């Protein structure tokens, strides 16, 4: 054996199994076994590295199946220009330090060969991409942005992407193309600035968007000009922009990509049923009814309802939608967004309601404008609030994800003989505090620092 993680509380990731004190034995990059007697390794030749985990909890590495901003190709479902290398590095390192060992970047339009800039930039975290290459999804991207797309991206197909190593389908739709977060923190503020030379903040953009289009993105649901004038006054914009003008700016920013993105839902559901890969969908108030429809129409599709705690839902509505989706065989994912500790734009009401409903299958981060909170922070919250036991909570980001995304993570996600030795050692009193991370048996993070 090469390495022994000694005397930790061990949570295996299967949803129920936990050892108050045990050793985890690693050999050749894989888990050799769990030793609750904490004695086995003393009988070996003594050459193994011994890592003391007393007072800590040993878990499988986190598998995050809905993230953005961690690849060097076109970013977001809007096919926007790639992020700067330094932003990509920062995002990757943050995920790693939060205990993520496998990450699926679901921007959806980049090739697997665009994960890294070159061999020198390969990150120790195992990073993969998904594919949303269908006609309507590409048209939706081009309608809102598309600055990162070349002919190669526009002509790519799902089959080509899967043969080159994409691990799932999606993300179908996004905050950019479906009037969600990215419209609030990027596209609407940019459009307002172009038109009236004033930068509004994301909270104001959300209020104006809801006033003009309602939560379901239906221009017919907008408030009257009189009410819109009051809202402009409340937002400190009285006299700076007319009601009529803000209605046009918001509508022109949000709506052009919406119908195409919704058409993309149908195309990806059909493709998922055909190829048997899981498909991640943007689940939010404007898309929920379409998604429920698709679970009935394409029962063989493997539908993952991404970020089912999306802030466009009211808490009861998020639970009702998740219930309908799950009844019809879909996977219910929730994202940390900035809900857990950052609370930049979002709060945990929908997250808590869904966890307490028992409907959640997986936890991911999504992006939240780069302000996402760590998955282990969210798990710590769930355990401390006694919403779930620690083994049940941990499974949402380990064993469950591996089962639902076999092409991505079938060989990991559990502390079990023969699985890849992706492991986290975290503070037992606060699982959000990651001390060490091992990937394929190699130490990558030690005492909170990347080696």
User: Of 29-37, 67-75, 80-88, 174-182, which segment contacts Zn ion by CB under 5 A?
Assistant: 174-182
| DSSP state at residue 420 | B
The nearer residue to Zn ion, 6 or 295, going by C-beta atoms, is 295
Beta carbon of residue 132, minimum distance to Zn ion (angstroms, whole number): 11
- Smallest Cα–Cα separation from 424: which of 389, 381, 388, 394? 394
Alpha-carbon separation of residue 74 from 77, 110, 113, 173 (angstroms): 9, 5, 12, 15
Residue number, 99 or 174, with CB nearest to Zn ion: 174
- Find the shortest distance in angstroms from Cβ 181 to Zn ion: 8
Stretch that binds Zn ion, among 48-56, 119-127, 281-289, 318-326 (CB under 5 A): 281-289
Give the residue nearest to Zn ion (CB): 282
99 binds Zn ion, rule: CB under 5 A: no
Which residue lies nearer to Zn ion by CB, 82 or 175? Answer: 175
Provide the minimum distance between the beta carbon of 435 and Zn ion in the complex, in angstroms, as a whole number.
31
In the bound state with Zn ion, the residue whose beta carbon lies nearer, of 304 and 390, is 304
Among 69, 112, 174, 432, which residue interacts with Zn ion (rule: CB under 5 A)?
174
Rule CB under 5 A: say whether 15 interacts with Zn ion: no
* Closest CB 308 distance from Zn ion, rounded Å: 11
Nearer to Zn ion, 12 or 78 (CB): 78
Per the CB < 8 A criterion, the answer to whether 351 and 339 are in contact is yes
CB of 119 to Zn ion, least distance (A): 31
Residue 209 Cβ vs Zn ion, minimum distance, rounded to whole Å: 16
- Near Zn ion by CB under 5 A: residue from 153, 282, 381, 419: 282
Binding region for Zn ion (CB under 5 A) out of 1-9, 243-251, 274-282, 396-404:
274-282
The stretch among 108-116, 275-283, 387-395, 439-447 that binds Zn ion (CB under 5 A) is: 275-283
Using the rule CB under 5 A, give the single segment among 142-150, 169-177, 321-329, 338-346 that binds Zn ion.
169-177
Our CB check for Zn ion shows the closer of 6 and 308 to be 308
Nearer to Zn ion, 153 or 282 (CB): 282
Q: Which is nearer to Zn ion, 282 or 380 (CB)?
A: 282
- Minimum CB–partner distance for residue 178 and Zn ion (Å): 8
Burial class (CB in 10 A: 0-12, 13-18, 19+), 111: buried
The three-state DSSP-derived secondary structure of 71-99 is CCCCECCCCECCCCHHHHHHHHHHHHHCC
Toward Zn ion, which CB reaches closer, 284 or 340? 284
Residue 312 near residue 350 (C-beta atoms within 8 A): no
The packing angle between helices 315-327 and 288-297, to 10°, is 10
- Nearest residue (CB) to Zn ion, 174 versus 391: 174
In the complex, least distance from residue 394 CB atom to Zn ion, rounded to whole angstroms: 24
Output 133 or 282, the one with its CB closest to Zn ion: 282
Tokens (6 digits) for 48: 């193994």
CA 295 to each of CA 68, 252, 268: distance values in angstroms, whole numbers, following the listed order? 25, 31, 12
Beta bridge partners of 362: 333
Name the segment binding Zn ion (CB under 5 A); options: 139-147, 166-174, 196-204, 436-444. 166-174
Q: Segment contacting Zn ion (CB under 5 A): 263-271, 279-287, 343-351, 376-384?
A: 279-287
In the complex with Zn ion, which residue's Cβ is closer, 112 or 175? Answer: 175
The number of residues that bind Zn ion (CB under 5 A) is: 2
Structure tokens at 416: 């079990």
SS3 3: strand
If you count them, how many residues does the chain have?
A: 451
Residues 375-394 that bind Zn ion (CB under 5 A): none
In the complex, minimum distance from the CB of residue 285 to Zn ion, in angstroms, rounded to a whole number: 12
Q: Where are the beta strands (DSSP E) in 141-180?
A: 169-172
Stretch binding Zn ion (CB under 5 A), from 113-121, 278-286, 318-326, 379-387: 278-286
CB of 311 to Zn ion, least distance (A): 11
Buried b (16+ CB within 10 A) or exposed e, 389-407: ebbbbbbbbbbbbbbbbee
> Of 338, 310, 354, which Cα lies nearest the Cα of 178?
310
Site residues (CB under 5 A) for Zn ion? 174, 282
């Amino acid at each position: 054996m090469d390495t022994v993680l000694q005397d930790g509380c061990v949570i295996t990731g299967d949803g129920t199994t936990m050892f108050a004190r045990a050793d985890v034995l690693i050999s050749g990059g894989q888990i050799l076994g769990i030793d609750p007697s904490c004695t086995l390794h003393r009988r070996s030749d003594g050459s193994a590295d011994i890592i003391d985990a007393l007072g800590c909890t040993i878990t499988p590495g986190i598998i995050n199946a809905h993230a953005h901003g961690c690849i060097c190709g076109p970013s977001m479902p809007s096919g926007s220009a790639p992020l700067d290398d330094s932003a990509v590095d920062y995002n990757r390192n943050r995920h790693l330090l939060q205990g993520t060992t496998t990450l699926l970047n679901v921007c959806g339009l980049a090739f697997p060969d665009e994960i890294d800039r070159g061999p020198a930039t390969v990150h120790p975290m195992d990073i993969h991409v998904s594919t949303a290459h269908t006609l309507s999804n590409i048209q939706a991207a081009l309608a809102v942005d598309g600055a990162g797309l070349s002919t190669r991206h526009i002509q790519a197909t799902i089959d080509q992407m899967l043969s080159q190593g994409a691990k799932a389908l999606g993300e179908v739709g996004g905050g950019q193309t479906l009037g969600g977060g990215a419209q609030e923190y990027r596209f609407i503020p940019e459009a307002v600035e172009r038109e009236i030379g004033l930068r509004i903040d994301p909270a104001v953009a959300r209020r104006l968007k809801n006033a003009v289009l309602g939560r379901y993105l239906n221009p017919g649901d907008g408030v009257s000009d009189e009410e819109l004038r009051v809202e402009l006054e409340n937002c400190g914009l009285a006299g700076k922009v007319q009601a009529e003008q803000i209605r046009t700016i918001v509508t022109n920013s949000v709506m052009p990509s919406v119908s195409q993105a919704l058409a993309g839902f149908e195309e990806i559901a059909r493709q998922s049923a055909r190829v048997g890969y899981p498909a991640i969908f943007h689940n939010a108030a404007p898309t929920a009814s379409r998604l429920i429809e698709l679970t009935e129409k394409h029962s063989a599709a493997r539908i993952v309802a991404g970020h089912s705690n999306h802030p466009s839902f009211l808490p009861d509505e998020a639970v009702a939608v998740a219930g309908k989706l799950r009844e019809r065989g879909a996977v219910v994912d929730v994202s940390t967004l900035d809900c857990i500790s950052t609370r930049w734009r979002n709060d945990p009401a929908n997250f808590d309601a869904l966890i307490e409903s028992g409907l959640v299958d997986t936890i991911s981060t999504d992006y939240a404008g780069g302000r996402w909170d760590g998955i282990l922070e969210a798990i710590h919250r769930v355990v401390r609030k006694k919403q779930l036991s620690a083994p049940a909570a941990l499974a949402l980001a380990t064993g469950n994800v591996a089962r639902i995304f076999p092409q991505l993570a079938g060989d990991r996600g559990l502390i079990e003989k023969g699985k890849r030795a992706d492991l986290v050692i975290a503070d037992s009193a606060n699982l959000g505090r990651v001390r060490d991370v091992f990937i394929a048996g190699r130490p990558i993070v030690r005492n909170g620092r990347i080696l």
